[in-house]
Structure 1
Amino acid sequence: MEPRIGAHIRVDKGLHSAFEIAGEYGADVLQIFTASPRQYRAKPLEADRIDPYIEAWQEAGEPLVISHASYLINLASPKDGVRERAREALTLELQRCAALRIPFLVLHLGSALNDDRERSMARLVTELNRLIPTVESDTRVLLETSAGQGSSIGCTFEEVGWVLGRLEPAERFGTCLDTCHAFAAGYAFAGDAFDDTWAKYDEHVGLDRLDVLHLNDSKGEFDSRVDRHDHIGNGHIGEEAFRRILGHERLRAVPCFIETPDDIEWHGKNLALLKSMVRDTG
């Protein structure tokens, strides 16, 4: 099975426009925001937005579409008000995903702020375990690895695994690894370190719990804790690492999405380069 490779698609012209744009890029799979990622509240989706989206999705052959949750959601926060707004935002996002038949929702684990990290992770577990059963949605929530900037949680595979292992029901949760984030957090993809990185992920999280890959090069240096995405091959990770990822036997079934700087010419170039790597690896 060849890897499915796609991109985060802007939907400024409406959710339904994502499929035409994805076709222009040559994307097999799509990631979108169902609402602004920089706000908590969003208007509920009505039929006049849902129906054109579903029609366009079906006309495109029903490709895999995933959503990325708002950046503001922080269920690990020590502040009650922040968690309350996060609960509401995540509930609405899951409802939008259900309406749009989106199977996966990528979620940042949040930040501890000035609190103890393990206590913050325990809060996140409690909040998710309480919230998920109350929402009528089959969408799986994917915990995304972080770059470790500030007090963000999830910069180590141990942290991601600690949280994931305590979430119930297990089938409603999975993970997303972002190559830029992992590299910035101190996980290398060059030389012998490549196999070691994936062995650690398998040990602490489980490759069988990896549902999505974000393939981004890194403007920041190794272990810099800087979350700045770059075009494939232009950053400090380098082309060879992506070639090895795409050729990895246990990763070939995992859908891949680029989140590189948003430009139609560059999205096309990045996807073409990644697809050429797939051909090279056979």
Structure 2
Amino acid sequence: MRIDITGDAARFLAEAENFLRRDPLRNTVIATAVANELGGRAAGAMTRFLTVRDDAGQVVGVATSAFGGKVYLGELPSHSISAVADAFSAEETPPTSVEGVQADAAAFARYRSRVTGGADAELFSARLFRLGALSVPEAVGKPRPATEDDLDVCRDFIEAFCDEIGESRPFDEEAALRRIDAGFWWLWEHDGVPATFVGRNAEILGWARIGPVYTPPQLRGNGFASALTAAVSGVVRAEGADACLFTDLANPTSNKIYQAIGYEPVRDFVCYTLTAAG
């Protein structure tokens, strides 16, 4: 077994594309990270791409680390988890969290805590959904793609979303403008005022992931998020791609509304925080 880590998204894709294509939906987060790096939309992620190879040199597992040590585990051989943890721990920025399917993320977190003398704690559980038969609900207002004039509005929505989920990420204006120019950021307009934000990612390997989705608390309950998510999902479908998204399992509202517009559950994931000893 051999483990390689690179910051070169093009190199990683060339080496791992066949493996990613085995289950592109399962690998949507990692594939999207590649697309964002190649498209200049990574917004300071500084993603490190990891491959696990077998004795014949074939890629048999993938993972990433981004945004200051946030590790995401793709499909991996179970016996490689500790070696993957060691490889990321040897990087300039060691792991601060790990997300993946339950067994893999838990094994990574336990191993990392045991080796470092630190601690781990479950932060959240997420569910991956894929779009089935799309149902577009009615709501007062209309969807529209964001424009460069909406940059500050989009910034406010995204920063409020990050504050609400307790995740701090820098707002990269250049990357944001690229997303707007690509038609990836959308707004629901109500009474001439943006009321909801929905982002989407570029299609890669046949899939485009929806998110983030944010409506200010005072405007919730009007169906804006459902209507805009459905509209953006329809755009993805019209482009010939399949749509997917993640929900927080602790948020019953989001899990309900996405299923109501046609999203079907696929797989659950869990994220653990990792803290150093002392």
Structure having the higher strand fraction is 2
TM-score by length of 2: 0.32
Structure having the higher helix fraction is 1
Higher RCO structure (Cα 8 Å, ≥6 apart): 2
